[in-house]
Copies of this chain bind each other. A is one copy, B any other.
Amino acid sequence: MKLADLGEFGFIERIQRAVAKLEGSGVRLGIGDDCAVLELPAGQVLLTSTDLLIEEIHFRSDWSDWRALGGKCVAVNVSDVAAMGGSPRHLYLGLAIPATMTMDDLDAFLAGFLETAADYGAVLVGGDTCRSPGPLMISVTVEGAVPADQVVTRSGARPGDAIYVSGTLGDSALALQRLQSNRPMAEELADCHHRPKARVALGRALAEAQIPSAMIDVSDGVLADLGHILDASAVGARLEQALWPLSSEFRQALAEESALFELALSGGEDYELLFTVPSDKEHLLADLFADVPVTRIGTVTEAEQGLLLVDEAGEMRSARAKGFNHFQG
């Protein structure tokens, strides 16, 4: 089966059939009209975010398992809703498809997209599709919801707050480096890059307990993303390298090449949650989640102090963000 034989509307119907019905999702009308028609739970506000994923920029098709890529598109986008404390509800998928992509590739991509959406409780309710004269271009938009008094933004961090991060840092960047240099690696490490998890349950639990004063997801590296919190909150921070949460794979690589630590500071695509916690709320963290570890990595300071990093020898240095910038370098 070729996409050209199936045609645009045949392809859309194929997607429509593959989308699972989700009871209680508030979807009055999904794929198949000019717009999706949706209800939000009473007392909740809408959270919306959109992401582009472009072949050769965000992914390489020769490194990608199409099913994993479909899932990653969802996780990356849903992670933004998690970072505001919300629950993802609806997804929209735009696909500009090069002629080289086969129907099997597309089916695998869609299977990954839809199964991951279901994992996070979200439904695909709309999109757009066309031919691409260049690379595969994917746009994903997510709508979520959160009780109006539980929204967590980037701007609420205050001096004295503790800085926490979920999971471990640098694994995705390490896996990418291995891919780029064509070196073998454990499947577990490769999965950190190809199959990232969005911390939706953790984000909801934190927001519901009203623990974080500010939160963001780590997509551009901790230093860059913490930088966004510091800018929005007009504060500074001191980070302790000795506290950094690292996986056993990462520690092993680090033992061979100490410069790799940079990846745990500035590598992208961890999709962990980075959040600040007022000291009188830190004790609430202990009971919250047995399944995802969270680690204190530093303290919010006055803005004048900037962003300081204390290394394992106790030396302090200024650590300006060096996250990925799409138009430079």
Task: Please give the distance in Å from A203's CB to the nearest CB on chain B.
Answer: 10
- Could you give, for residues 64-105 of chain A, a 1 whenever the CB lies within 8 Å of some chain B CB and a 0 otherwise? 000000000000000111011010001010111100000000
Q: Contact between B37 and A40 (Cβ–Cβ < 8 Å)?
A: no
Q: Is A6 an interface residue (CB 8 A)?
A: yes
Q: Contact between A57 and B151 (Cβ–Cβ < 8 Å)?
A: no
Q: Contact between A50 and B128 (Cβ–Cβ < 8 Å)?
A: yes
Most buried by B among A3, A46, A328: A46
Q: Contact between B7 and A35 (Cβ–Cβ < 8 Å)?
A: no
A248 to B220, CA, bound (A): 55
Q: Is A17 an interface residue (CB 8 A)?
A: no
Q: Which of B28, B92, B135, B216 contacts A134 (CB 8 A)?
A: B135
Q: Which residue of B lies closest to A148 (CB)?
A: B39
Q: Contact between A125 and B326 (Cβ–Cβ < 8 Å)?
A: no
Q: Contact between A92 and B48 (Cβ–Cβ < 8 Å)?
A: yes
Q: Contact between A92 and B141 (Cβ–Cβ < 8 Å)?
A: yes
Q: Which residue of B lies closest to A227 (CB)?
A: B9
**A326 touching B8 in the complex, CB below 8 Å, given contacts A134-B135, A143-B46:** yes
- Could you give, for residues 244-270 of chain A, a 1 whenever the CB lies within 8 Å of some chain B CB and a 0 otherwise? 000000000000000000000000000
Q: Contact between A7 and B151 (Cβ–Cβ < 8 Å)?
A: no
Q: Contact between B11 and A327 (Cβ–Cβ < 8 Å)?
A: yes
Q: Which residue of B lies closest to A325 (CB)?
A: B8
Task: Please give the distance in Å from A209's CB to the nearest CB on chain B.
Answer: 19
Q: Contact between A4 and B84 (Cβ–Cβ < 8 Å)?
A: no
**A38 touching B34 in the complex, CB below 8 Å, given contacts A8-B327, A57-B131, A135-B134:** no
Residues of B within 8 A of A132 (CB): 54, 57, 134-135, 137
- For residues 14 through 57 of chain A, which have their beta carbon under 8 Å from a beta carbon of chain B? 28-29, 32-40, 45-52, 54-57
Residues of B within 8 A of A80 (CB): 34-35
Q: Can you list 28 pairs linking A and B with CB atoms under 8 Å apart? A: A8-B328, A33-B153, A33-B154, A34-B84, A34-B154, A35-B48, A35-B83, A35-B86, A37-B46, A37-B47, A37-B151, A38-B47, A40-B40, A48-B90, A48-B143, A49-B92, A50-B128, A50-B139, A52-B94, A52-B96, A94-B139, A96-B137, A97-B327, A130-B326, A132-B135, A134-B134, A139-B141, A143-B143
- Shortest 10 CB-CB contacts between residues of A and residues of B: A134-B134, A139-B139, A35-B47, A34-B83, A34-B80, A130-B326, A38-B46, A50-B92, A35-B49, A56-B133
Beyond A37-B153, A38-B47, A46-B46, list 7 extra A-B contacts (CB 8 Å): A8-B327, A8-B328, A35-B83, A37-B47, A38-B46, A50-B127, A133-B134
